[in-house]
Structures are given as structure tokens and as C-alpha cells.
Amino acid sequence: MDVLRYESIGFLLGVTYRRISHFVSIRLRELDLTPEQFAVLLRLREQDGINQKEIAARTAKDQPTTARILDVLLRKELIEKKVSEADRRAFLIYLTEKGKAFTEQAIPLEEQALKEMLAGIDPEHLQLFKEILLTIQTNINQDITE
């Protein structure tokens, strides 16, 4: 593991992201959910009845990936699509009762995984780390839009 200590921040973030994702996926496996599917369910729990484009933005996924995730969640009967009253060409996505129950079951699993991952980290350091990550995102977004 010492070999990773001196690698670039991008490499370290990538490795850490993949390990976190794998760790959480192990915890969600008992519900047959992936972290990506869970992220969509959480966004719908926050605001039900949003469109695919909004879900993609809120989960930081591209639209084709979001469409695939939504197809799986539809097959599992965790979400449903309804025609928008405002625009008959558009669909809004809603959690089903089964989807709501799955989301409520998954939340403690993810929370426990996060608790284990963050064990031993000072809350002030964790807050600083989040601020640094947000600053990096802001810097990247500014560079992309210029």
C-alpha cells in the first residue's frame, strides 16, 4: 500500500472511489442493488417525480447510463414512469411502494458502510477533505466552461 502514497491525487482518488464503490456494493448486495441504483433511488426519495435528465444531473451520470439504471429499476418494479402533465412527450420518474421500502432498507446498510470507512477520521479533517474536493470540482468546472 505504501506504493500508493506517492502517486498523483487523480490516481489516489480513482483507487479510493473504486474501493468505496466496491465496499458499498458488497453491503447493498443483499438487496440486489448496486451503488448506482441506490443513488437514483435516493435522489427520487429526495424529490419524487423528476425527469431522467434531472436524475442524471443529480447523480452525476450521463443520460445513457441513467437510462440503463432506470430500465433495471423499472424491471425490479422499484420505480415507475408517468407522462408529465406539463409536457405529454416527457416522462417523470416516481418511486413505487416497493422502491420506497427498498430505499429505506438500503439506507442503514450504506450508513454502516460509511461509518466503517470513516472510522478513526477526525470530523474536522473529514469536513476539510470535503471542502477540498468541492474546490477541486469547482476548479475543474470553471476550466471546462471557459
Do the beta carbons of residue 47 and residue 57 sit within 8 Å? no
pLDDT in tens, 16-62: 999 999 999 999 999 999 999 999 999 999 999 999 999 999 999 99
> What does pTM read for this prediction?
0.82
Among residues 16, 76, 84, 50, the alpha carbon closest in space to that of 58 is found at 50
Give the pLDDT of residue 145. Answer: 64
Q: Per residue in 1-11, pLDDT tens?
A: 455 566 788 88
Break the chain into its structural domains and give their ranges: 2-145
Residue 44 near residue 94, CB atoms below 8 Å:
yes
Tell which CATH architecture fits domain 2-145: Orthogonal Bundle (1.10)
Say if CB 63 and CB 56 are below 8 A apart. Answer: yes
* Contact in structure between 83 and 77 (CB atoms under 8 Å): no
Query: What is the CA 34 to chain-centroid distance, rounded?
Result: 10
